[in-house]
Amino acid sequence: MTPPEGTPDEAAAATPREVFARLSAGISAGRWDELAALYAEDAVVLQPFSLPPAPPRVDGRAALDRHFRAAARGPLELRARDVVVHETADPEVIVAEFDYDGRVATTGRTFRAANIQVLRVRDGLIVETRDYHDHPAFARALASEGDAADTRDAG
């Protein structure tokens, strides 16, 4: 993943579609420590369907960096698939639909989770997202070994 950290012109030249592709590729490759660089200093991430302990709102690049670094310490491995990006009438906004094929590294459990993200990108950086992830699919996958077998059809 190449975060838009070069010249200001390089960052500003990145389209919302390109920034989303960098975000998705970074998550899929497990490069969690690089992801916050894709966000503006005052970015806002809304997760209206999050389940505790995940926050429904994350404010600012520093908080996002902590959020992503916490994810790096977790057992989830995610690979985006079936990605469809929709352009909107607003050149700063895209809507991305995709699934995660996931694996819990500690148990080998696999799962699938549906996702929709609405991203606003300005000057090559994410300034706002609304993330609609299938959080129950993640919770089922992370449930204790005795709860269920493979959740491949989740989400």
Using an 8 Å Cβ cutoff, are 85 and 96 in contact? Answer: yes
The whole-angstrom separation of Cα 139 and Cα 29 is 21
The verdict on residue 86 lying in a domain is yes
Domain presence at residue 10:
no
- Beta pairing partners, 81: 99
What is the count of structural domains for the chain?
Answer: 1
Please report, for the domain that includes residue 130, its CATH number.
3.10.450.50
- The CB-side HSE value for 116 (13 A sphere, CA atoms) comes to 6
Q: Each residue of 46-97: pLDDT tens digit? A: 999 999 888 899 999 999 999 999 999 999 999 999 999 999 999 999 999 9
Instruction: Specify if 83 maps to a domain.
Output: yes
pTM (predicted TM-score): 0.85
User: In which domain, by residue range, is 88 found?
Assistant: 16-142
